[in-house]
Amino acid sequence: MRWGFTPQRPVKRALEQNPEAVRQWLEQDYPRLRAQVAQEGAVIYWGDETAVKEDAHWVRGYSPRGQTPVWAIPARWTTLSMISAISPRGEVAFQMVEGSIDADRFIAFLAALIQDAPKKIYLVVDNLRVHHAKVVTAWLADKKDRIELAFLPPYAPESNPDEYLNRDFKTALRTGAVSTDKNSLLAKATAFMQGLRQTPQKVARYFRHPAARYAMSDI
């Protein structure tokens, strides 16, 4: 090409990006975690965070040559974020907040997650700095009988079943009726997640992705 650009392959899957770490997770770390969960009579959830927004780089429009198309209704307002957790049984927990997920908001989510939980929870998350924050570690310290965190290998998002929920969530926001303000966007996002709570079989399908199938069986 004149600008030096050439067709490129898509981003590699997690197993190709970080093969040794993912292999260790699948063959050693996760089986060890499941054994611990079985011993304690606990359950496993997978958690993740995502932005709540409708705009995306792949949105396209048409206009006369030389004129940039203009989106008639703005699709981004004050930042909204969601944190969620799912289980292979189809259970869903989520919170939406204004702004990004910081350590305090992560702790608030953990507190809500265990509030009425009948069993101890192991929450599997990625290595986001917030998850390793000192205040989070301190909050967890005296709650090991109720919740503990387990960490996925670095650069392995496809190993997290909750990643596929996020993909569905973002697609639903982008392809539905365009929101007119922050409140309507929040309502649309909440409706999608409430709908998931009513369809556990759909949540269970997120665990059937080839990279997440290892997590289908639960204790």
Average pLDDT of the segment spanning 112-126: 97
Q: Give the per-residue pLDDT at 1.
A: 47
**128-141 burial string, b = 16+ CB within 10 Å, else e?**
eebbebeebeebbe
Q: Give the per-residue pLDDT at 218.
A: 57
Q: Give the per-residue pLDDT at 164.
A: 97
Nearest C-alpha neighbor of 197 from the set 92, 117, 45: 92
CB 182 within 8 A of CB 74: no
DSSP β-bridge partners for residue 147: 121
% of the chain residues with pLDDT over 70: 80
pLDDT digits over 10-63, tens only?
444 444 567 899 999 999 999 999 999 999 999 999 999 999 998 654 445 556
pLDDT category of residue 71 using cuts at 50, 70 and 90: low
The C-alpha angle with vertex 110 and arms to 105 and 114, in degrees rounded to 5, equals 150
Report the mean per-residue pLDDT for the chain: 87
pLDDT category of residue 197 using cuts at 50, 70 and 90: very high
Residue 89 has pLDDT above 90, yes or no: yes
Q: Give the per-residue pLDDT at 79.
A: 85
Nearest C-alpha neighbor of 218 from the set 41, 27, 25: 41
pLDDT digits over 139-193, tens only?
999 999 999 999 999 989 999 999 999 999 999 999 878 888 899 999 999 999 9
Give backbone dihedrals phi and psi of 171, rounded to 5 degrees, phi first. -65, -40
Q: What is the CA radius of gyration of the chain?
A: 19
Q: Give the per-residue pLDDT at 176.
A: 78
Residue 77 has pLDDT above 50, yes or no: no
Residue 92 has pLDDT above 60, yes or no: yes
The type of residue at 72 is: A
Q: Give the per-residue pLDDT at 207.
A: 96
Give backbone dihedrals phi and psi of 44, rounded to 5 degrees, phi first. -115, 135
% of the chain residues with pLDDT over 90: 73
Cβ neighbours for 58, distance < 8 A, ≥ 6 positions apart: none
Residue length of the chain: 219
Q: How many whole angstroms separate alpha carbon 61 and alpha carbon 59?
A: 7
